[in-house]
Amino acid sequence: MAGVVIIGGMKLIRFAPLVIIGLLSLAGCQTQKVKPLKALFLTGGGYHDYAKLAPFLTNNFGQRINVSFDVDFTMDRLANKNFADGYDVVVYDLCWDDAPPADLENALNAIRAGKPAVMIHCAVHAFRNVKPMIHEWENGVGMRSKVHDKFEPFQVVRMDPHSPILAGWPDHWKTDGDELYQTIEFLPNSHSLLSAKSPVDGRMHIVCWTQTYGKGRVFATTLGHDMTTAENPIYLDLLSRGLMWSCHKLDGKGRPAAGYSVW
């Protein structure tokens, strides 16, 4: 299983994914015959424990998908317009309020050119102070949302029973605690997968969706504030399937391409 490189500013730390020993399956053999997906995991910012979330998520991705990660706790590489070259997908699990507008343009241009993207939780609320770019960043994400309900449990409802990303999704699933992001505008090109009813005002809000922005596939979810949701295996399966879908490694029936799943 491929490794993870963490870039934390002052030093380089290497995390090895957890190794599951004992079961040699056909799927496990196939993963050795194909080149792993290479993913860039951009994280960091305020309001969340990314030092805990990032290694946990990337290790659990690695238990489900044939993928390797470079994890960066800074946004420095976005200053390079070619930052996504060499990667199959870019994962945004971050909560920065500010960024140079040119950096966000580089991120969006990568998606427009066809680079798959995965947007997790606060990536939907990020860059709120970048007035020249926030509207277009929301276009790239696929939904406009500015506020969220308080942290609490809530039920999640499947919107598309035929989505390959939701193959195996249980009929009744709830998070034991998360922030329900309020949907201000769900953009026309976005396709809803999951929603939740606000315990506060009774309105339904989209919590997971897909879209195509330019030529790039985008998978997004507002779920995942902290380890309460992140440790749930159903949520981890959702992220993994979303990443595979964005990279065209999931067929219409939810079956991973040969060699890319280690489930």
Q: Spell out the domain ranges in the chain.
A: 4-246
Confidence band, pLDDT 50/70/90 cuts, at residue 89: very high
Give the Cα separation of 132 and 124 in Å (integer). Answer: 16
4-246 domain in CATH 3.40.50.300?
no
> Are the C-beta atoms of residues 160 and 238 closer than 8 Å to each other?
no
Task: State mean pLDDT over 87-105.
Answer: 97
| Per-residue model confidence (pLDDT) at position 91 | 98
Beta strand 216-221 with 117-120 is parallel
Nearest to 42 by CA among 66, 68, 6: 6
Which tops the pLDDT comparison, 216 or 172?
216
Confidence of residue 21 (pLDDT cuts 50, 70, 90): very low
pLDDT in tens, 129-142: 999 999 999 999 99
In the chain, % of residues over pLDDT 90: 84
pLDDT averaged over the chain? Answer: 90
Q: Check whether 16 has a pLDDT greater than 90.
A: no
Q: Could you report the per-residue pLDDT of 168-200, keeping only the tens digit for each?
A: 999 889 999 999 999 999 999 999 999 999 988
Residue 4: pLDDT band (50, 70, 90) is: low
For position 31, what pLDDT does the model report? 43
Whether the per-residue pLDDT at 163 is higher than 70: the answer is yes
Is the model's pLDDT at 5 over the cut of 90? Answer: no
| pLDDT band, residue 161 (cuts 50/70/90) | very high
Structure confidence at residue 9 (pLDDT): 47
Find, among 115, 114, 120, 17, the residue nearest to 61 by Cα. 17
pLDDT recorded at residue 33:
82
Q: What is the pLDDT of residue 201?
A: 84
- The alpha carbons of the chain give a radius of gyration, in whole angstroms, of 17
Q: pLDDT-derived band of residue 261, with 50, 70 and 90 as boundaries?
A: confident
Q: For the residues of 9-25, what is the DSSP string, one character each?
A: SS-EEEEPPP---S---
Q: Which of 13-22, 108-117, 127-136, 196-205 has the lowest mean pLDDT?
A: 13-22
Residue 180, pLDDT score: 97
